[in-house]
Structure 1
Amino acid sequence: MSDHPSCIDISHWQGFPDFHEVAVQGVVACIMKATEGTSYVDPNRAQNYINATEAGIACCTYHWIKPGNAAAQMRFWLGTIDPVQGERMCIDYEEDGCSLDDLHEAVQVLLDDPRDLQVTVYSGHLLKEQLGDSCDAFLRDNTDLWLAQYTSGTTSWPTGTYEYWTLWQYSESGEVEGISDTNVDLNRFDGTNDQLVRWISPEGRAPLPPPQPGEVVRVDITAPKSVSVNVTVNGGDVATRRRRPRRRLLIPHGPDVFR
């Protein structure tokens, strides 16, 4: 099993990673703890989310669900994150005492949200033991599985409900350059890295890779002839001029140039 995963998941225990260094290791996606219960907010998530996305790493968040009061917990996550249209959300379903009724209630709150959220269930032995070989049609039709199982051998999961796992957390003791903690969760995606980025991103809004130094960023602007166009790059004005039909701007990633 590779120790250089394409996806990691973190919480405040990993501090504030150097995400540019993390990205160099081949990590393209990161799932961050956002909330737990009805009152806990991970203090590092907001800044880490900004830093990771600036480094070109696609991100989403998870909520650690506790037994009971599942609807209130999901409303707490919604109020904390204020997700965008189509955002992916992961329910960390592993604490003893949680029931399938709790999980169903939590998923339903997310489905009822008008922003068409994508829902993933993270779990290992708890969900496996509760589902057994049965088919939970509600979970099958409305969620996918992020499996937690620390093995280098063959994985096992509740296949009666999930035909396959989407993401597999295969280690909780990984090491990734750029993260000082030696207990980083490592994950494998059932697909390519491009598919992973599309999966973890808000539906239909997979981020573009960050421009490389010297790369030309091409921007086409269409506007009525009577409208003046003011172009700003990295906080500085590049040009202001009267619109002409289909004027093309070639903006190198670096010094401000207008052609």
Structure 2
Amino acid sequence: MWRFTVKSALFTGAAVTLGLLLASTGPAQARPTDPSSPDAVTAAPQPTPQARQHGIHKAGDAYMGWLHNTTTSSAPAAPAPAAVVEGIDVSSHQGNVDWQYWWNQGKRFAYVKATEGTSYRNPYFAQQYNGSYNIGMIRGAYHFALPNNSSGATQANYFASNGGGWSRDGRTLPGALDIEYNPYGATCYGLSQSAMVSWIRDFVNTYKSRTGRDAVIYTNLDWWTRCTGNSTAFNATNPLWVARYSSTVGTLPGGWPYYTFWQWTSSPLDQNHFNGDQSRLVALANG
């Protein structure tokens, strides 16, 4: 069964002091991985003590917004944009998802973690990706980036070949690059700001050459400012998926004029707004 992990936190969008975030008090749980992958070329990274406190116990366990996972019980008040479509994102942490339940809760799109680095594939991907589609949702896949693991091109190709592809069926969203805090070491993965921008450009350019679509970029203001110098290199091409756990979206990173997706809470699992109505979401899917 998939599990509910109540992990809401206020994500201010300003600089976040990593050592002061609340740690999860829940019991550690083993997470499934895909041991059959032949693609590992380096030793598996080990999660930092802080990452372990947030449910990341081994390579492959990283998930969107992991650093803001706490056990506080209340979510921020849900905002009420004029036109919005509600959705969720999931990873192996949710296991086999009850898609009928989330459809009944009004969720109409879902993003599913497909890959991480170049050696991990979500073992629940098929159930989650196909299950959301079969219930009627518009679905997409995301890749958790490890920029110190291999080049952006290498990881984009791995993602596109392992669930991150795209087809113009009106029900498949462009793949998303999850680029955020490193759960296995240095916050910016040991890269300079200019090197990080180059890595991201390598990923999104390769992904577009493989799929014909501009990848969605998931990030937050603090990490993007620290690790890319708040680069504006992608705001005219790649849709923004911003993480801010609050009742308002706040200042957007990178000079993006608007967000496409907003991850606004992680209680009882990651919930997102699409910035537009259903017809615009379908238009994004169709490219």
- TM-score, length of structure 2 as denominator length: 0.60
Could you tell me how far apart the structure 2 residues matched to 1:3 and 1:16 are?
29
Question: Which residue pairs with 2:224 in the alignment?
Answer: 127
Tell me the percent identity.
Answer: 26
Aligned pair 1:75/2:150, yes or no? Answer: no
The alpha-carbon distance between structure 1 residues 84 and 170, as it changes in their structure 2 partners (threshold 3 A), is closer
Tell me by how many angstroms 1:59 deviates. Answer: 0.3
Tell me by how many angstroms 1:130 deviates. Answer: 4.1
Tell me by how many angstroms 1:132 deviates. Answer: 5.1
Question: Which residue pairs with 2:176 in the alignment?
Answer: 90
Could you tell me how far apart the structure 1 residues matched to 2:229 and 2:174 are?
26
Aligned pair 1:2/2:81, yes or no? Answer: no
Aligned pair 1:141/2:221, yes or no? Answer: no
Tell me by how many angstroms 1:83 deviates. Answer: 1.8
Question: Which residue pairs with 1:218 in the alignment?
Answer: none
Q: Is the 8 A contact 1:167 1:188 kept in 2?
A: yes
Aligned pair 1:116/2:200, yes or no? Answer: no
| Number of residues of Structure 1 aligned to a counterpart in Structure 2 | 189
Question: Which residue pairs with 1:163 in the alignment?
Answer: 257
Unaligned runs of 5+ in 1: 176-183, 204-259
Tell me by how many angstroms 1:97 deviates. Answer: 2.2
Could you tell me how far apart the structure 2 residues matched to 1:148 and 1:154 are?
8
Could you tell me how far apart the structure 2 residues matched to 1:197 and 1:129 are?
34
Residue aligned with 2:147, SS: coil
Tell me by how many angstroms 1:82 deviates. Answer: 6.4
**Letter of the 2:94 counterpart:** Q
Aligned pair 1:151/2:246, yes or no? Answer: yes
Could you tell me how far apart the structure 1 residues matched to 2:133 and 2:224 are?
31
Aligned pair 1:193/2:278, yes or no? Answer: yes
Q: Is the 8 A contact 1:65 1:73 kept in 2?
A: yes
Determine which structure has the larger strand proportion and give its number.
Answer: 1
After superposition, where does 1:220-235 map in structure 2 within 5 Å?
A: none
Q: Is the 8 A contact 2:224 2:254 kept in 1?
A: no
Q: Is the 8 A contact 2:261 2:274 kept in 1?
A: yes
Q: Is the 8 A contact 2:78 2:247 kept in 1?
A: no
Q: Is the 8 A contact 1:30 1:57 kept in 2?
A: yes
Q: Is the 8 A contact 2:230 2:253 kept in 1?
A: yes
* CA displacement 1:129-172 (0-9 Å, x = unmatched): 34556532xx1232110001111245112252x11111110112
Q: Is the 8 A contact 2:246 2:264 kept in 1?
A: yes
Root-mean-square deviation over aligned CA pairs: 2.3
The alpha-carbon distance between structure 1 residues 6 and 76, as it changes in their structure 2 partners (threshold 3 A), is same
Residue aligned with 1:26, SS: coil
The alpha-carbon distance between structure 1 residues 163 and 43, as it changes in their structure 2 partners (threshold 3 A), is same
Could you tell me how far apart the structure 2 residues matched to 1:155 and 1:108 are?
28
Residue aligned with 2:235, SS: helix
Could you tell me how far apart the structure 2 residues matched to 1:84 and 1:165 are?
21
Could you tell me how far apart the structure 2 residues matched to 1:13 and 1:154 are?
26
Residue aligned with 1:81, SS: coil
- TM-score, length of structure 1 as denominator length: 0.66
Q: Is the 8 A contact 2:114 2:164 kept in 1?
A: no
Question: Which residue pairs with 1:102 in the alignment?
Answer: 199
Tell me by how many angstroms 1:48 deviates. Answer: 1.5
Structure number with bigger Rg:
1
